[in-house]
């Protein structure tokens, strides 16, 4: 039977999203579940299976019309074998052969990649990095990660672990990082660090959303805080621009909502600190696909991956 659909799964630290897309990557149906309630990997995998069955039956689509399942996960995964190494924010997932488990359970082809790569793929095909040849697509959140587009294709690196911009050092010396390193960019501009600085500035707990909205209303402290985040991010990106010489730098994730003040600090820093040819080559843009990027990227992964 003609294959007309793709199932896309976006497994995040907060939500597990499952959707049905057509071959033009339009979302036809979707379900979402709080990840925290699926306490073990067995429960989570069972939920994936039951949700896929439910969606197909509600849409009156037979399994034979489905090309396969693309999945994005919040941590390092061996793209070749489909084995999850671990998830920094979900316990109990050490060395899980997720691809083969799901293929056996659901009897459809499965491809898995990490969330930053899928965001990059989605932005490259349908978003801010469309027509780009070489792009760096960042996601700013609890973690600071990136996907790299090289010669129009996702570049994964020799151990499928490329793109860890959050773990490039901002200084020779600095605070220890969970990754084992020191002075990693994430230790300065990860969500946790931003919230810590915000508490110092405002002498109370404050959410990222409030911090962004205050900055947009012109609050000086909030603007200064986002400006400093932008400068630190811009310094590391200036080095990445000199190394990779990309034509696009796409920034997404919750923190990117801080808006103009963050972006202008990043752009100014790249202009000041990158080399002239490299600085002229690159455009810094906001990600366009928002919170659906993960699902769309997972569907693109499956379609392009099966065609290879």
Shortest distance, position 76 Cβ to its own copies, whole Å: 6
Is 285 or 295 the residue whose CB approaches its own copies more closely? 285
CB of 16 to its own copies, least distance (A): 24
Sign of the Cα torsion 287, 288, 290, 293 reads negative
The number of beta carbons lying within 10 Å of the beta carbon of residue 267 is: 18
First to last CA, the chain: 21
Which of 80/290 has CB closer to its own copies? 80
- From 252, 250, 258, select the one nearest 285 (Cα to Cα): 250
User: What are the start-end ranges of the E strands in the chain?
Assistant: 5-11, 15-22, 27-34, 66-73, 77-78, 83-84, 110-114, 135-140, 144-150, 153-155, 248-252, 283-286
Task: Work out how close the CB of 273 gets to its own copies at its nearest, in angstroms, rounded to a whole number.
Answer: 4
> Of 106 and 129, which has the nearer Cβ to its own copies?
129
Nearer to its own copies, 18 or 194 (CB): 194
DSSP string, 117-158: HHHHHHHHHHSTTTT-SSEEEEEESSSEEEEEEETTEEE--T
Nearer to its own copies, 16 or 285 (CB): 285
Strand partners, 16: 11, 33
- The residue among 172 and 218 lying less far from its own copies, judged by its C-beta, is 172
Helix axes 220-244, 191-202, angle to 10 degrees: 150
Q: How far is the CB of 308 from its own copies (least distance, A)?
A: 13
Residues forming the site for its own copies (CB under 8 A): 76, 85, 133-134, 146, 148, 150-151, 155-165, 167-172, 179-182, 232, 235-236, 238-240, 242-247, 272-278, 280-282
Residue 179: CB minimum distance to its own copies, A:
5
- In the complex, what is the shortest distance from the CB of residue 170 to its own copies, in angstroms, rounded to a whole number? 6
């Amino acid at each position: 039977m003609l294959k007309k659909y793709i199932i896309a799964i976006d497994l995040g630290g907060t939500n597990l999203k499952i959707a049905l897309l057509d071959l033009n990557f339009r979302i036809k149906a979707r379900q979402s579940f709080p990840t925290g309630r699926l306490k073990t990997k067995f429960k989570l995998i069972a939920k994936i299976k039951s949700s896929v069955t439910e969606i197909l039956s509600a849409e009156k689509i037979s399994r034979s019309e489905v090309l396969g399942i693309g999945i994005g996960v919040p941590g390092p995964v061996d793209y070749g074998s489909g084995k999850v190494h671990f998830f920094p924010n979900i316990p109990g997932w050490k060395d899980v052969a997720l691809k083969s488990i799901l293929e056996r359970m659901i009897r459809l082809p499965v491809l898995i990649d990490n969330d930053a790569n899928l965001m990059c793929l989605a932005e490259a095909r349908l978003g801010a990095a469309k027509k780009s040849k070489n792009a760096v697509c960042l996601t700013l959140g609890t973690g600071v990660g990136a996907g790299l587009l090289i010669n129009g294709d996702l570049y994964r690196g020799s151990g499928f672990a490329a793109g860890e911009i959050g773990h490039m050092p901002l200084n020779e010396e600095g605070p220890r990082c969970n990754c084992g390193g020191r002075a990693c960019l994430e230790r300065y501009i990860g969500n946790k660090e931003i919230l810590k600085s915000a508490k110092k500035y405002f002498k109370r707990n404050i959410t990222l959303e409030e911090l962004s909205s205050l900055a947009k209303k012109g609050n000086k402290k909030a603007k200064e805080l986002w400006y400093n985040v932008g400068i630190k991010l811009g310094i590391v990106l200036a080095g990445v621009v000199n190394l990779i010489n990309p034509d696009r730098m796409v920034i997404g994730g919750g923190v990117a909502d801080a808006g103009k003040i963050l972006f202008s600090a990043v752009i100014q820093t790249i202009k000041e600190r990158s080399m002239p040819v490299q600085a002229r080559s690159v455009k810094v843009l906001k990600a366009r696909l928002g919170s659906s990027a993960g699902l769309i990227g997972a569907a693109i992964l499956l379609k392009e991956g099966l065609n290879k």
